[in-house]
Chains A and B, each alone.
Chain A
Amino acid sequence: MKHRIFVANRGEIAVRIIEACDRLGYDTVLGVSSADKDTLGARRAGRVVTIGGPRPADSYLNMNAVVQAAISTGCTAIHPGYGFLSERPAFAELCAENGLTFVGPSPEALRALGDKLTARRLAESVDVPVSAGGTAQTANEVQQLAERIGYPVLIKAAHGGGGRGMKLVESTTELAEAWQLASSEAEASFGDGTVFLERFVQDAKHVEVQILGDRHGHRVHLGERECSVQYRYQKVVEEAPCTALPEATRALLYQSALRIAEALDYVGLGTVEFLYDVQRDSLAFLEVNPRVQVEHPVTEAITGVDLVREQLLAALGEPLSFTQSDITLTGNAIECRITAQDPENDLRPSPGTVTRWRPSAAGGLRLDTHIYEGYRFPPFYDALMAKQIAWAPDRAAAIERMEQALAAFEIEGVTTSLPLLSRILAHPVFQHNTVTTHWLNELLTEKVNS
């Protein structure tokens, strides 16, 4: 059977998925909003259908329109990309009910992972390290739990994500009120007021393991990535592998990720995220992202594995074509997210028409993008324009290659984050890899204050 894949996403990831399908010989149908008819994805797809208006709720988040479009165009599977519908159990179910293969894990796995408290319990149940924490009912119990964990503590929404629904509590006097507030905010934002407590780790690195499973019980990991350079919980620069990990910790990291994958009978691509406390040399499970990640190319660069291709094949029932021992990690890769955001103005979004777009064509580079000269960058979606990836045999060489790539990149018409990325790459803290997740926030706040 010739597969026809419905691509339910936009931007660079839509282009990436279409490209993987093309090489597999699969037909593609791209569902676009009325604001996205001129995107690169729309030019590359086998067929394009307009599924709704510019607002995501009317198009990319409209489950019925997406599934109807996929059925009516004779698609066999839906690739949801990242964001939008990629982590919605109800969407995965709707696909299944209509005979469409959802390119992602089962609805049950999505449901278990969508609730951070459930995911945390799952990790604990298979002896994966988690931060001190938990949940409680009465104000008194919450108080006691916080004392046991030790301040400062973080209140998190079970159904939150991307940094939303988190509150930092420094002392016992703020706790009761913050707990109440967090719960009502979670109720309002995520439709579920469940919140829980976790120890706040001041200085930690964000590390994550790429996992991949098929429908025949095979599961592998493809090494780790470090994504500590974040601004307001948004990743800005990522790399693979994480050079700050001692070997024993790295081994624990991989084991932990695979145990979680096994517990979920995980199918497809997933990322198991951890915080790594460098001082204490301790890992704590954060969450699982059950989809392809923005930063997947750094893993592809050091493993040589085409993750989107493997993800599609696994979803369509093919057994993995390699085992764990076939996977070797070579060299270092860095990814910079080039966004339409103004670093001089608190990274305010800066949509507009791209009048000049000239990336570097030097060796060791890869650019994932949906931008071309003359493209009108719309104001309705996220600010990601491109992902510049650089690979080299070692980290210092990869940094150098990236610095050159950023310096040579000519972009006009839209204010971008390029200057900020160059500044990060040149910073001694980044070069020595002592970055923790708060570093960039502090760097940018300093700038405002000085």
Chain B
Amino acid sequence: MDIDLEELAAIIEQLDKTEFTDFLYEKGELRLHVRRGGHIPEGAIQSPAAAVAAAATAAAPPVPVQPSEPAAPPAPAAPAPAVVTSNGHSPAMSPDALPAGHILVTAPMLGTYYGAPKPGEPAFVQVGDAVSADAVLCIVEVMKLMNSVTAGAAGEVAAVFVKDGDLVEFEQPLFAIRAAS
């Protein structure tokens, strides 16, 4: 079972009108976890940002919704809630509607996505990492040829939209980078 972005947006909108700090919804393979009290965007007064976790597959190992480090650096302009999947990578936001100040890193070619230099090694980057413009974010493998994908701009990794071993298509969104100001 899957949930589309519009449905997700509707749920968050409804939740936003209520008093809550932590919301967990499970049905079949779907697990939706929304938590209030993340970063408060500068200038955002009305709606506190919420962090949402949507785990589409029960098979994926459960991972903490958010790193337990207290306050992440303030987001300059991120009124949208952050979304984290259970594998630690995150469709933190919709690639179709990036908040201002964010840039999209897309696949320069079709191939297989790898987030780490080798299997078992730590990922090149995690959500929250600061990266330089020439930092390698991932590898796209095409017929055993490894192609490094760089950030293209300095900033902070705000979202990872794909997971290890996925087929990524040409120009498919891979990362969102919150550009350094």
A and B held together in a complex: yes
| B167 x A49 contact (CB < 8 A) | yes
A65 contact set on B, CB distance < 8 A = 109-111, 142, 170
Binds B, one of A68-76, A129-137, A421-429: A68-76
Question: Taking the complex as formed, is B22 at the interface, i.e. its CB lies under 8 A from any CB of chain A?
Answer: no
What is the CB-to-nearest-CB distance from B163 to chain A, in angstroms, rounded to a whole number?
14
Contact residues, B99-155 vs A (CB, 8 A): 109-112, 141-143, 145
Task: Tell me the smallest distance from the CB of B8 to a CB of chain A, in Å.
Answer: 24
Q: Contact between B145 and A50 (Cβ–Cβ < 8 Å)?
A: no
Which residue of the partner chain B has the closest CB to A73? Answer: B167
CB 8 Å contact bits of A258-271 with B (1 = contact, 0 = none): 00000000000000
Query: B86 → chain A, closest Cβ, in Å?
Result: 23
- A49-B143 CB under 8 A given contacts A34-B170, A59-B170, A72-B167: no
Which of chain B's residues 66-119 have a Cβ closer than 8 Å to chain A?
A: 109-112
Given contacts A68-B111, A68-B112, A72-B112, contact A51 B169 (CB under 8 A): yes
Given A34-B170, A72-B167, A73-B167, do A52 and B143 touch, yes or no (CB 8 Å)? no
Bound Cα distance from A67 to B145, whole angstroms: 13
B interface footprint on A59-85 (CB within 8 Å = 1, 0 otherwise): 100001101110011000000000000
Q: Assess the B170–A50 pair: CB atoms within 8 A.
A: yes
Residues of B within 8 A of A94 (CB): 143
A53 at the interface (CB under 8 A from B): yes
Query: What is the bound-complex CA distance between A73 and B167, given in angstroms?
Result: 8
| B111 to chain A: closest residue by CB | A68
Q: Which residues of A contact B109 (CB under 8 A)?
A: 52, 65
Q: Is B29 an interface residue (CB 8 A)?
A: no
Write the nearest CB–CB distance from A45 to chain B, whole angstroms: 14
**Given known contacts A65-B109, A69-B110, A53 and B143 CB-to-CB distance under 8 angstroms:** no
Residue B42 at the chain A interface, CB threshold 8 Å: no
Interface residue total, chain B, C-beta cutoff 8 A: 13
Across the interface, which residues of B come within 8 angstroms of A73, CB to CB?
167
Q: Does residue B16 face the partner (Cβ distance < 8 Å to A)?
A: no
Please give, as numbers and ranges, the residues of chain A lying within 8 Å of B143 by CB-CB distance.
Answer: 64, 67-68, 94
Please name all residues of chain A whose beta carbon is closer than 8 Å to the beta carbon of B170 when the two chains form the complex.
Answer: 33-34, 50-53, 58-59, 65
Chain A residues with Cβ below 8 Å from B111 are 65, 68
Q: Which of A51, A52, A58, A64 is B145 in contact with, Cβ under 8 Å?
A: A64
B142 touches A68 (CB 8 A): yes
Bound Cα distance A52, B142 (Å): 12
B172 near A: Cβ within 8 Å?
yes
Specify which of A67, A68, A73 lies most central, judged by the most chain B CB atoms within 10 Å of its CB.
A68
A59 to chain B, nearest CB (A): 7
Looking at A49, A65, A72, which has the most chain B CB atoms within 10 Å of its CB? A72
Contact present for B110 and A52 (CB under 8 Å): yes
Residues from chain A with a CB closer than 8 A to the CB of B110 are 49-52, 65, 68-69
Query: Smallest CB-CB separation from B143: which chain A residue?
Result: A64
Residue on B nearest A97 in the bound complex, by CB:
B143
- Given known pairs A68-B111, A68-B112, A69-B110, the reply for A49 and B145 (CB within 8 Å) is no
Q: Which of B159-181 contact A (CB under 8 A)?
A: 167, 169-172
Tell me the smallest distance from the CB of B145 to a CB of chain A, in Å.
Answer: 7
> Which single member of B112, B141, B142, B172 contacts A50 (CB below 8 Å)?
B172
Q: Which residues of A contact B142 (CB under 8 A)?
A: 64-65, 68
**Which B residues are in CB contact (< 8 Å) with A64?**
142-143, 145
Give Cα A69 to B110, complex, Å: 7
Residue numbers in B under 8 Å from A52 (CB-CB): 109-110, 170
* Chain B residues with CB under 8 A of A53: 170-171
Interface residues of A (CB under 8 A from B): 33-34, 49-53, 58-59, 64-65, 67-69, 72-73, 94
| Chain B contacts to A: CB under 8 angstroms | 109-112, 141-143, 145, 167, 169-172
Known: A34-B171, A59-B170, A68-B112. 4 other contacts (CB 8 A): A52-B109, A64-B143, A68-B142, A73-B167
Between-chain CB contacts (< 8 Å), 23 pairs = A49-B110, A49-B167, A49-B169, A50-B170, A51-B110, A51-B170, A52-B109, A52-B170, A53-B170, A53-B171, A64-B142, A64-B143, A65-B111, A65-B170, A67-B143, A68-B110, A68-B111, A68-B112, A68-B141, A68-B142, A69-B110, A72-B167, A73-B167
Q: Which 3 A-B pairs have the closest CB atoms?
A: A72-B167, A50-B169, A64-B143
